[in-house]
Amino acid sequence: MTRAFHPASVRMRALGSVSPLLVVGPSWVGDMVMAASLVEVLRLREPGRPIDVLAPPAAVPIARMIPGVRRAIPLGLGHGELGLMARWRAGRALRNEGYGKAIILPRAFKAAIVPLAAGIPERVGYKAELRSPLLTDARPDPDRKTARTLDRFVALGLPVGSTARPPRPRLMLPDGAVDVAAAKFPLAGEGPVMVLCPGAEYGPAKRWPASKFAALAALAVAAGYRIRILGSPKDQEAADAIAAGAGVPVDNLVGRTSLVEAAAILAGADVVISNDSGLMHVAGAFDRRLVVLYGASSEKMTPPASPFARVMARDLPCRPCHKRECPLGTLACLEGIAPEEVLAAAEQMRR
């Protein structure tokens, strides 16, 4: 039976074991948010042991917001970059840090190179891409296509065979971040704030159509909401279409905020409407009221962490397909979700 995690429920390392631990973090923003649960488990198992996180540039701001992370180390390589020699050099640069253990969250072969080059004696990760010789504890990953990503991450921080319910991921904003964001991006008017997050880095099969976001914005403004749109510069086209199609005032901040500023705005929102995206997981880590729209991805594998979340998905034989683009060309899984349903769900979440 699954039980709640408690520091006394797992065997502690001997006192005096204070060699730092390195977590090799994932590239996706949402996955880095979920890595916060692993960090919390490690903190509870070995209080006082320093935890550093190695992260690609896009995920470094999230790593810095994870409670318990001593240092977020930028890798200097983006998602998808092989950079074998650059990774080896990055590892060699860490040899004097004294790390006693590395937990490698990505399954890629290249992710195991830095801990090996750093001479870290204990290297834990999942068997994948023929990289087992680079690990000292190469674990099978039979449930990777069905288990929650969060559970798979936490399992790497526990003894093999342990079954503990992981804590929800939480983030902590830097001091003053809320005030800085409020001063830089003031919002006029009164009424509850609804934040729309129309992006999804993975691909269009995870994105609710911009026309539906626009229709939702119009309905929400009529119901008394103030609308803000958040996303990366890659979401600019969708955000502009929403702003143009809504026919009501919207505060389009897409491409204008840093990730920390976006997190501060999300933390102050009354309700967030989002695809399955990195910003959705950020909002969940601040316990925001969330309505999450699922298309190609699975709400069972990457569910929102917030206890105040409502999932909207269509039960179709073709989903979840986990494809970047709809193989059928219909996007039926997302086209079938009506703006009126989403607003009704948001209203119910706020009662």
- Asked whether residue 335 is assigned to any structural domain, the reply reads yes
Instruction: Please tell me the distance from the alpha carbon of residue 197 to that of residue 31, in angstroms, as a whole number.
Output: 17
Is pLDDT at 164 greater than 80 in this prediction? no
- Asked whether residue 116 is assigned to any structural domain, the reply reads yes
- Give the total number of structural domains in the chain: 2
Instruction: Please tell me the distance from the alpha carbon of residue 53 to that of residue 63, in angstroms, as a whole number.
Output: 7
Domain of residue 62 covers 3-165
Q: What are phi and psi of 238, to 5 degrees?
A: -65, -40
Strand order in the sheet with 290-293: 251-252, 226-229, 193-197, 271-275, 290-293, 309-312
Q: What is the pTM of this model?
A: 0.91
Q: State which of 165, 189, 212 marks the end of a domain.
A: 165
Mean pLDDT of 157-166: 88
CA-based nearest residue to 172, from 253, 264, 49, 39: 264
Do the Cβ atoms of 333 and 323 come closer than 8 Å? no
Strand segments (E) across the chain: 3-4, 21-24, 51-55, 71-74, 101-104, 122-126, 137-139, 164-165, 193-197, 226-229, 251-252, 271-275, 290-293, 309-312
- Do 194 and 326 lie in one domain? The reply is yes
Mean pLDDT of 314-318: 95
- Asked whether residue 170 is assigned to any structural domain, the reply reads no
- Do 287 and 326 lie in one domain? The reply is yes
In this prediction, residue 207 carries a pLDDT of: 96
CA-based nearest residue to 253, from 340, 187, 338: 187
- Do 263 and 292 lie in one domain? The reply is yes
Residue by residue, DSSP assigns 208-261 as --HHHHHHHHHHHHHTT-EEEE---GGGHHHHHHHHHHH-S--EE-TTTS-HHH
Mean pLDDT of 51-56: 96
Do the Cβ atoms of 33 and 171 come closer than 8 Å? yes
Instruction: Please tell me the distance from the alpha carbon of residue 337 to that of residue 273, in angstroms, as a whole number.
Output: 13
In this prediction, residue 17 carries a pLDDT of: 53
Average pLDDT, the chain: 93
Structure tokens at 325: 């683009």
- Do 80 and 121 lie in one domain? The reply is yes
- Do 126 and 184 lie in one domain? The reply is no
pLDDT band for position 78 (cuts 50, 70, 90): confident
CATH number of the domain that residue 67 is part of: 3.40.50.2000
- Do 158 and 186 lie in one domain? The reply is no
Do the Cβ atoms of 25 and 54 come closer than 8 Å? yes
Instruction: Please tell me the distance from the alpha carbon of residue 68 to that of residue 77, in angstroms, as a whole number.
Output: 24
pLDDT band for position 182 (cuts 50, 70, 90): very high
- Asked whether residue 171 is assigned to any structural domain, the reply reads no
- Asked whether residue 172 is assigned to any structural domain, the reply reads no
Structure tokens at 283: 């909002």
pLDDT band for position 16 (cuts 50, 70, 90): very low
DSSP-derived letter for residue 295 is: S
Is pLDDT at 142 greater than 70 in this prediction? yes
Instruction: Please tell me the distance from the alpha carbon of residue 327 to that of residue 345, in angstroms, as a whole number.
Output: 29
Q: State which of 130, 165, 200 marks the end of a domain.
A: 165
- Do 45 and 181 lie in one domain? The reply is no
- Do 308 and 209 lie in one domain? The reply is yes
Instruction: Please tell me the distance from the alpha carbon of residue 137 to that of residue 12, in angstroms, as a whole number.
Output: 18
Do the Cβ atoms of 54 and 75 come closer than 8 Å? yes
> In sequence order, what are the residues at sequence separation of 6 or more whose Cβ sits closer than 8 angstroms to the Cβ of residue 84?
110, 113
- Do 241 and 135 lie in one domain? The reply is no
- Do 343 and 206 lie in one domain? The reply is yes
- Do 153 and 212 lie in one domain? The reply is no
Q: What are phi and psi of 133, to 5 degrees?
A: -65, -20
